Amino acid sequence: MTSSSAPSRKALSKIACNRLQKELVEWQVNPPAGFKHKVTDNLQRWVIEVNGASGTLYANETYQLQVDFPEHYPMEAPQVIFIPPAPQHPHIYSNGHICLDILYDSWSPAMTVSSICISILSMLSSSTAKQRPADNDRYVKNCRNGRSPKETRWWFHDDKV
């Protein structure tokens, strides 16, 4: 499955390492509500447990996010996907890819894993229907060879959900 596809990545740069260590410390002191970082010794891949917010369609559901950091993080955005089974959401494909502008074109180096998590939870919480994107099957088929969502040319058109 695409979740286990490890893109051939270069090791983290020194800047990236410092920054991630800092983020990890901040996370431990003040984790975003509803998220749990699964501790590993791999700084370059974080697995984060997401709990659907109460009062939303995803209440009492737990999902896993996989965050892979590129060599030049935070200049480059991390790759963030749900480890299947991904939540049913109009912007989340069944292979776990997430259509969210801040993960691609609108990434800014001032964003953090924590702020990404909050954005994703907010995206989940504002969903009004548990359904896949209209082009899910086509997209997932195109990604069969383990393509990263960062290689996708995304169209961001719906800012409501």
Partner 1 sequence: MASEEEEEVLIEVEAVEAVYGEDCKIIQRFPPHIQLHIKPRTADDSSQQFVEAILELRAGSQYPKEPPHIGMIDSKGLDEVRQAHLITSIQEKVDELSSCLMLVALCEEAVHVLSHMNHPDGDCPLCLYPLVKEDVHGNSWPFMKLMSCYHCFHSKCIIKWWNWLQQQSESDSNISNATATSSSNLGSRRGLHGAVKNQRSCPVCRKVFQATDIEHVLSLVQTYTSELSLEETETDDDEELQHSELENSRRKEFDALLKLQEENNGLIEPKKIQVLLPGVFLPNPVTPPTVSTKVSAELQQSEQTSTTNTHTSETGPSRPYSKASTSSRNNFGQRKNKMRNPRTQNKQWAKKES
Binding residue for partner 1, selected from 9, 19, 36, 132, defined by CB under 8 A: 19
Using the contact rule CB under 8 A, the part of the chain among 3-11, 39-47, 108-116, 128-136 near partner 1 is 108-116
SS3 call for 98? strand
The active-site residue, picked from 17, 99, 117, 143, is 99
Write down the number of H helices and E strands in the chain.
3, 4
**Binders of partner 1 in range 45-84 (CB under 8 A):** 72, 74-75
E strand or H helix that includes residue 113 = helix 113-125
* DSSP annotation of 97: B
Binding residue for partner 1, selected from 29, 41, 55, 110, defined by CB under 8 A: 110
Using the contact rule CB under 8 A, the part of the chain among 51-59, 87-95, 109-117, 125-133 near partner 1 is 109-117
Q: Is 140 left (phi over 0), alpha (psi -120 to 50) or beta?
A: alpha
Residues that bind partner 1 (CB under 8 A): 14-15, 18-19, 22-23, 26, 72, 74-75, 105-106, 108-110, 112, 153, 155
